[in-house]
Amino acid sequence: MLYNLQRKIFEMLNIEEIKNIANTYDYIPEDAKLPYIVIGEDRSIDYNTKTAKGKEITTTIHIWCDKRGSLQTKKLLGLIEKALVKDFQIENYIYEYKTTEFMSVERETIELLHGTIQIIYRAWEVQNG
């Protein structure tokens, strides 16, 4: 489930509006140029009801920028949120966007900004028949 979700997130972030500013990675290549986006950590907990089996999944996306100002990082946060606020189906799970848990921008050094966004989805198993 997490594997398929990460592949879908990568696909949703692979749009011109984002690609014109930053590349998206699962891992950071040694020759990566800033700014870039990294699909980060996931947390999954059971979210079952009497009628459905599900998971609530929190996905963290990181942005790394080398600008002294924070506008580029904040623009990327907005574009990422816009791209990920969608419901979709992958195989036998329907993923529903629940909320953006938080967005933050922190200065790591005078030349390096770190943006973070956490998105929560609820994934429901599709019952056959």
| Spans of the chain, pLDDT less than 50 | none
Close Cβ partners of 28 (under 8 Å, ≥ 6 residues apart): 36, 38
Phi, psi of 59 (to 5 degrees): -115, 135
Q: How many helices (H) and strands (E) does the chain have?
A: 3, 6
For position 1, what pLDDT does the model report?
Answer: 85
For position 25, what pLDDT does the model report?
Answer: 96
Give per-residue pLDDT as tens, 49-83.
888 889 999 999 999 999 889 999 999 999 999 99
Give, in words, the CATH class of 2-125: alpha beta
d(CA 47, CA 45): 6
For position 68, what pLDDT does the model report?
Answer: 83
- Domain ranges for the chain: 2-125
For position 129, what pLDDT does the model report?
Answer: 55
